[in-house]
Amino acid sequence: MHDLSYHSRPSKGFVLLHTLWLLLVATALVIGLLILATRSSERWALGEQEARREIAQESAVELVLHDLVTRGTRSPWLTLPSARGELNVDDQVISISVQNVAGLIDAGTADDKTLAAFLDRAVKQSSKDMLMNLDMARLRLGAETRPFSTYAELRALMGASDHEFSCIYPHLTLFSGSAQPDLSFASPPLIALLQIGQRSSTPVSAMEGVSSAAGATYRIEARASDASGSRKGQVLSVEVTITGRLQPSHIVRSWLRLSQAEDNPPCD
């Protein structure tokens, strides 16, 4: 009779090693699934926070619009040259700015001298190419037709980088229809870029310089802030015309979400 004890010992050792290997694989799989589940949960939580933030920004814009439509010249959002304030929406602090686009440079209708002066100081090295592209588009389509219908189209035509566009967008519009910005509504940074003499420091009374909201187009920007005042997420920038009629009370011209990063390099 053969002795099987010699053969059974390595067989049991193999089974034990195989079992341990399977346990290690199973443990690794479980750990991997737990990590994926945790990351998915974190992504879902961040996505939910971002969605709530975006909804709060949109709600804040709607509140400002309602005030402009219903209160007209009595609205505090018509302060010159622009109005700034904060609204608390869904326990979130939303910083709001409102500016009449008459104080911005219209990329489609501004005169060449104004555009050249602005671009030369705002983007410097790229200004000549951008100005040439703008001139070609305006000449091709003629004065009777808007050469750009969206900011995406304008940016693509200009060939502006993310940083360059973030520097010029605050001062450009597509909806004023003017050859030059109205200095009553122009911001101090734009006046400095154009090297125009500063406005008189005499305070403007509540009854002076504030035109009716009806017929005007405004850029309303909403930024979310946390408890420390630090800005988060994207900026919602909306340009809207107040019609002065019951229906429609306003017309949305542009709706943009712009990235905001506090570590962006400064504009030239």
Q: Which is it for strands 82-89 and 92-100: parallel, antiparallel or unpaired?
A: antiparallel
**Mean per-residue pLDDT over the chain, rounded:** 82
Using one digit for the tens of pLDDT, what is the confidence trace for 14-47?
677 777 777 887 888 888 887 877 776 666 665 7
pLDDT beyond 80 at 66:
yes
Q: How far apart are CA 2 and CA 118, in angstroms?
A: 100
CA 253 to each of CA 50, 149, 174, 187, 237: distance values in angstroms, whole numbers, following the listed order: 24, 9, 9, 21, 11
**Alpha-carbon span 135 to 178, nearest angstrom:** 16
Which pLDDT belongs to residue 231? Answer: 59
pLDDT at 244 over 80: yes
Query: Per-domain residue ranges for the chain?
Result: 51-198+214-259
- pLDDT, tens only, 161-193: 888 999 999 999 999 999 999 999 999 999 999
